[in-house]
Chain A
Amino acid sequence: MELLLSGLAQVLVLETMALIATGLIIGIIIGAIPGLNVPLAVAIALPITFGMTPIGGLAMLVGIYKGGTYGGSLSAVLINVPGTPAAAATAQDGIALTRAGKAGKALKMSLYASVIGGIVSDFALILFAIPVASFALSIGPPETFAIGIFALTLVGVLSQGNMLKGVIAGVLGLLLSTFGVDPLTGDFRLTLGVYNLSGGWSFIALVIGIFAIAEALVKVERPLQEQVMVGKVRLSDPEHRLTAEDWRRSLPVIARSAPIGVLIGSIPGLGAAVSAYLNYGITRNLSKTPERFGKGAIEGIAAAESGNNAVTSATFIPLLTLGVPGDVITAIMLGAFIVHGLIPGPALFEQNSSFIAAFFVMFVVATMLHLVIARLGMPLFVQATRISNKYLFPSIMVLGVTGVYVTTNSFFDVFTMLGFGLMGYIMLKLRFPVAPLLIGFILGPLIEIGLRQSVIMSRGSIDIFFSRPLAALFLALAAGSVIIVGLREWREFRRAAAARGTKTGEKP
């Protein structure tokens, strides 16, 4: 406790607070702009922080991380282009609310769910780092495989009503993830003799292509003057307010999604996007009214946003307790620790307890500032719906091209992005959902590596998936999820068939 108080004294100084706020503002902007991405922003800011105090430098990076993870939901809700991969689940219901003229409602729930998820994550890091880390250690290759399969079964819920097309898109994502280097042998595979493909398809090019470029291409076909909303948007208007009913639907969902997000964040290699989809999928599967999802279900936004923001502090649990970064961004931030002579890992707690205390306090302060800054900025953000498409989408195209080039330094990846944009456009025209493709692409390597490592560990036997309780549990959940979704689809199919039947029956 004394340590935390001394930490508070280190954090509540003007300089540190200003750095957190700067980081948050940069993060929200970068996160919201499709094309610019948060890992890149953290990597660019990293050398700038070398000259700062350790806590100041890390405060700014944590601000960018937290702000960026949230910022992706802004563009997802307002213009149906998720700024970050993790916000693709938020876009499902967010854009539906925006089109119904309730953008403020979606933005508010997205912010409050994010902040609650963030706070839960902060306290998990401070209070339960050790037990959560030992949970993370019990997740070996068989468990990773099982979690991957479980998450994959939820592809169906992001299919926007067409299960078969969703599954096709998901399989396409899995297929695309196999290009490049074989993760276990290091051999090249499916490179088609193109040396630029030896690293596989660029993730950032895929994300920007299928979401931003494809959406822009679709919009090009429509009348230029079309806007989502006309007239100034006032957040205090009744349609932009959160009602008691909205909260009644969302709070239990947040209470479930945030802890799940913490556990996913603590397992190295999963990350915010997996958490967002998993929580969105679980929430829809458990809902009594699953048909509302994708059509503006407020609890869908709550699940996705509390789920992905609950990851942000939890990814530091394996970094601080095991010395293993939890995701791409914490891997980059590892550099910031090291430059200041702080080697993350179990030794850090003993040698630099006062730094750790300040670091912990800084997370809570950052989440509080996040609430304040994002809420103050919201009246401004929401006006984005009034920008005419003739300015909006050309800008998104330009940002996409620059964003990919700045991130990968490769023109090949710029063309890759345009190719994926075209593919996404064709998919949208044929009413294929694109989110399952992204999920397949993210989960593919997890599932492949988990499966192959497990089978090597068990010397060729598949018993390993059933003899390890956690692996068996997740596989059972996966089976349950398939059954629930399958039954629902079947019932709906029957109902639709019956409806058709009565119609034809009425004919004379």
Chain B
Amino acid sequence: MTKIRKFFFALAIIPVVALMTLTGAIAQMYPSKPLTLIVTWPAGGSTDVIARLLAEPLGKELGQPVAVVNRKGGGGSLGTRAALDAPMDGYTILMTTSGNHILTPLKKDVGYRYDDFEPIGQLVAATLALAVQADSPWQNLDDMIQDVQANPGKYNFGAVPSTMPHLTLNGLISAAELDVVHIPMQGGAPGVKALLGGDIAMLPANLSSVASNLKAGKLRALAVFNATRDPAFADIATAEEQGYAVYGNPFVGLAVAKGVPEEVLDRLRAALSTVASDPEFQAKVATSGAAITYLPPDEFGAIWARDWGNFEPILKP
């Protein structure tokens, strides 16, 4: 090789090397500014609390603060769209839930599908319980089912329309061929009030939203719709144990819009995995009535596909 050829070779290689270092530097630089975590539900709700608990340790792990932003409305679709429309640089993360991710886009045309997003990881799969008033004569699912079958159309239940609690109880209703009337509710808390006030006879609800009333003996849970019993309420039998294979586990996790660079995805996934396995963070979330059930991105993505497939025939108009 002559000197001249060496020179030209070097000349040719400079931009390549420069480009490589530059891209490497970009990946290392991420994140170089604060991140936004979009919550699609109002401040103070169960998802929001988890987001706010997550923001601090996640920010520490990434070396940049994470700001929680509530974009509520339209069944969670407004916030989800905002995450999709943000620049695909990984600075906008979506706190995604079964509601805004699966159920809302199936019900109506909101301009996105579950697979427009990349999974970062699942944080929580909530337990759903079927609650009744403490002085209700029903002690288990069979009591309830026999009474309801003997009195078709007599009893009411409350649920936010087409949410996981509603769809899960609908699963039981069709399995046991029940005739109960749905009173649409505006949220978890109004449902609890309606049950306590006797306006409805039963309430499918997130265990965390009825936990205090269960502990105080004001409400009783007939069943949880889990594969196994909830460790915090081990005395509540699953629906499956009582002969009805009905399940419902609304998820909460992180996602970003498809198109975010691979290095950025890896960085976010590693950070979430570290935070989710931190006992201090787990303990904080546990006090809120939820339990961390972390799933890595591939498994979280598989749950999206599974739920989408399950609910598509029920919800597609």
B70 at the interface (CB under 8 A from A): yes
- The answer to whether residues A46 and B52 also contact, given A324-B193, A343-B212 and a CB cut-off of 8 A, is yes
- B212 pairs with A188, CB closer than 8 A: no
Closest to A334 in B: B44
A343 — which chain B residues lie within 8 A by C-beta?
211-212, 215, 287, 289
Residue B258 lies at the interface, judged by CB distance under 8 Å to chain A:
no
Cross-chain contact B199 with A325 (CB below 8 angstroms): no
Q: Is B161 a contact of A186 with CB atoms below 8 Å?
A: yes
Nearest CB of A to B47, in Å: 11
- Known contacts A339-B284, A410-B71; 5 additional CB pairs below 8 A are A198-B73, A331-B189, A338-B49, A409-B70, A456-B183
Question: A183-B186, A186-B161 known; A457 and B199 CB under 8 Å?
Answer: yes
Within A119-176, which residues are at the interface with B (CB < 8 Å)?
136-141
* Given A322-B192, A322-B196: A198 in contact with B53 (beta carbons within 8 A): no
A39: which B residues are within 8 A, CB to CB?
43
- Please give the residue numbers on chain B whose beta carbons come within 8 Å of chain A beta carbons, in ascending order: 42-45, 48-49, 52-53, 55-56, 68-75, 77-78, 81-82, 107-108, 110-111, 153, 156, 160-162, 181-184, 186, 189-190, 192-194, 196-199, 209-213, 215-216, 218, 284, 287-289
Interchain residue pairs with CB less than 8 A apart (9): A43-B44, A183-B184, A186-B184, A195-B74, A268-B189, A318-B193, A322-B213, A331-B43, A350-B216
Complex-state Cα separation, A344 to B192, whole angstroms? 13
Q: Which of B111, B161, B216 contacts A345 (CB 8 A)?
A: B216
Residue of B nearest to A47 (CB): B52
- CB neighbours (8 Å) of A322 from chain B are 192-193, 196, 213
Which chain B positions have C-beta within 8 A of A268?
Answer: 189-190, 193
Point out the residues of chain A lying under 8 angstroms from B75, CB to CB.
181, 186, 198
A259 part of interface (Cβ distance < 8 Å): no
A137 and B184 contacting across the interface, CB-CB below 8 Å:
no
B111 to chain A, nearest CB (A): 6
Known: A187-B108, A338-B288. A323 touches B52 (CB 8 A): no
Interface presence of A379 (CB below 8 A):
no
Which residues of chain A have C-beta atoms less than 8 A from B108's C-beta?
187-188
Q: Assuming A185-B161, A186-B162, is B77 touching A195 (CB within 8 A)?
A: yes
The number of chain A residues touching the other chain, given as a range, is 35 or more
CB distance from A179 to the nearest CB of B (A): 11
Residue from B70, B156, B192 within 8 A of A43 (CB atoms): B70
With a CB–CB cut-off of 8 A, which chain A residues contact B182?
456
Which A residues touch B284, using CB under 8 A?
339
Residue pair A137, B212 in contact (C-beta under 8 Å): no
Please name the residue on chain B nearest to A343 by beta carbon.
B212
Q: Decide: A346 and B74 in contact? CB cutoff 8 A.
A: no
Interface 1/0 per residue, A274-288 and B, CB below 8 Å = 000000000000000
Interface flags, A335-377, vs B, CB<8A=1, else 0: 1001111011111101000000000000000000000000000
Hey, which chain A residues are within 8 Å of B189, CB to CB?
Answer: 268, 323-325, 331
Chain A residues lying within 8 Å of B199, measured Cβ to Cβ, are 140-141, 453, 457
Tell me the A190-217 residues at the B interface (CB within 8 Å).
195-196, 198-200
Q: List A437-466 residues whose CB lies under 8 Å from chain B.
A: 449, 452-453, 456-457, 459
A136→B198 CA distance, assembly (Å): 12
Chain B residues positioned under 8 Å from A185 (CB to CB): 161, 184
Residue A78 CB within 8 A of the other chain: no
Residue pair B77, A184 in contact (C-beta under 8 Å): no
Residues of A within 8 A of B48 (CB): 335
Contact B74 A180 (CB under 8 A): yes
By the criterion CB–CB under 8 Å, are B73 and A341 in contact? no
A335-B48, A335-B49 known; A198-B77 Cβ under 8 A: yes
Which B residues lie within 8 Å of A459 (CB)?
Answer: 153, 181
Assess whether A419 is interfacial by the CB under 8 Å rule: no
Q: Give Cα A490–Cα B68 distance, bound, in whole angstroms.
A: 55
For residue A59, CB closer than 8 A to chain B, the reply is no
Chain A residues, CB < 8 A from B287: 338-341, 343
Tell me the smallest distance from the CB of A337 to a CB of chain B, in Å.
10
Knowing A268-B190, A322-B213, A459-B153, say if A140 contacts B197 (CB, 8 Å): yes
B156: chain A residues within 8 A (beta carbon): 456-457
- When chains A and B are docked, how far (Å) is the Cα of A332 from the Cα of B190? 15
B72: chain A residues within 8 A (beta carbon):
199
Asked whether any CB of chain B lies closer than 8 Å to the CB of A269, the reply is yes
Nearest CB on B from A455, distance (A): 10
Q: Would you call A325 and B161 a contact (CB within 8 A)?
A: no
Residues of chain A within 8 A (CB-CB) of B110 are 195, 198
B162 to chain A, nearest CB (A): 5
- Please judge, given known A-B contacts A198-B110, A268-B189, whether A180 and B73 are in contact too, CB under 8 Å: yes
The distance from the CB of A343 to the nearest CB of chain B, in whole angstroms, is 5
Known interface pairs A47-B55, A323-B213, A339-B287. Does A331 touch B42 (Cβ–Cβ under 8 Å)? yes
CB-CB under 8 A for A331 and B44, given A195-B77, A459-B153 = yes
Report A305 CB to chain B, min CB distance, Å: 26
Instruction: Across the interface, name the chain A residue whose C-beta is closest to B53.
Output: A339
Q: What is the CA–CA distance of A345 and B210 in the complex, to the nearest angstrom?
A: 9
Let me know if B289 and A338 touch, CB within 8 A: yes
Q: B261 to chain A: closest CB distance in Å?
A: 24
Taken residue by residue from 9 to 41, chain A's Cβ proximity to chain B (1 for < 8 Å, 0 otherwise) reads as 000000000000000000000000000000100
Chain A residues within 8 Å of B192, by CB? 322-324
**Given A199-B72, A343-B289, A344-B212, is A335 in contact with B43 using a C-beta cutoff of 8 Å?**
yes
Residue from A338, A341, A457 whose CB has the most chain B CB atoms within 10 Å: A338
A-chain residues with CB within 8 Å of residue B210 when the two chains form the complex:
323
A137 to B287, CA, bound (A): 27
Q: Could you tell me the distance in whole angstroms from the C-beta of A137 to the nearest C-beta in chain B?
A: 4
